[in-house]
A and B are shown apart, each in its own frame.
Chain A
């Protein structure tokens, strides 16, 4: 338990170290998640585009 408290205390620099590590990890997760969402959105858009019945005469009998 003492070890854990000493670790979390970071030699008195806890209020600088933990926010720095926290924001770095969070920002990386947000970047990865945001980029994956954008990919999925584009894939859906492309599929939707392929399934729209054409307004032009090309596909009509």
Chain B
């Protein structure tokens, strides 16, 4: 029998296997309740009519797209400064879900823009900076797998992720800094909470549901990434021995 080197990060393997299913179940419950309130138990907007229901998928997607990128940036910094391989694996695990939610934010935004603004797309600051975020994700995923020497790819990806982090505040404040088609934040403004409780309820349910879903997915994908790293190491030691 081949002697497999001990699994990497055994504690993280245990924790992810234990928590992912529960957080996943919580996500299903929250999103189920969120969908019910978003589609049935909430009123149409007095100006936007039923198209306001787009908000309940658009805003949570935008939130996850940006939060996942922040996580990748922080993990990349930890990887570069502390050489933490677990941080690098966490960043890798967050990339695909983050990219998918960024894409969903752009696509649902386009479907909302057509009836409200009359256009599917406009090169305004909010939309363009969000598109750049999607390209950053794609670049990051391509880079970490671009080199034969994996660590070189991880380092290049981490540097790109950190440099791209400057885009996050640009997205956040684009609607205040520039005149955009996109409306300013609907949830919190300087005057306080700017949304009726009847619409806040489905929005909060969906935002927490999407967050739980992303967390469960992250743990599951981190578990997988640790296994993959263990397999890579096993193959490497086997090659060296032969």
Contact = CB atoms under 8 A, between A and B. Distances in A.
Nearest to B103: A27
A28 B212 CA distance: 12
A53 interface: yes
B41 interface: no
Nearest to A58: B3
Interface stretch (B105-113, B129-137, B142-150): B105-113
A52 to B, nearest CB: 5
Interface in A7-61: 7, 10-13, 16-17, 19-21, 23-24, 27-28, 31-32, 35-36, 38-39, 42-43, 45-46, 49-56, 58-59
Interface size class of A (residues with CB under 8 A): 20 to 34
A59 B242 contact: no
Interface of B: 1-4, 24, 35, 39-40, 44, 49-51, 53-54, 57-58, 61, 96-97, 100, 103-104, 107-108, 111-112, 114-115, 213, 217, 220-221, 223-224, 227-228, 230-231, 234-235, 238, 241-242
Interface of A: 7, 10-13, 16-17, 19-21, 23-24, 27-28, 31-32, 35-36, 38-39, 42-43, 45-46, 49-56, 58-59
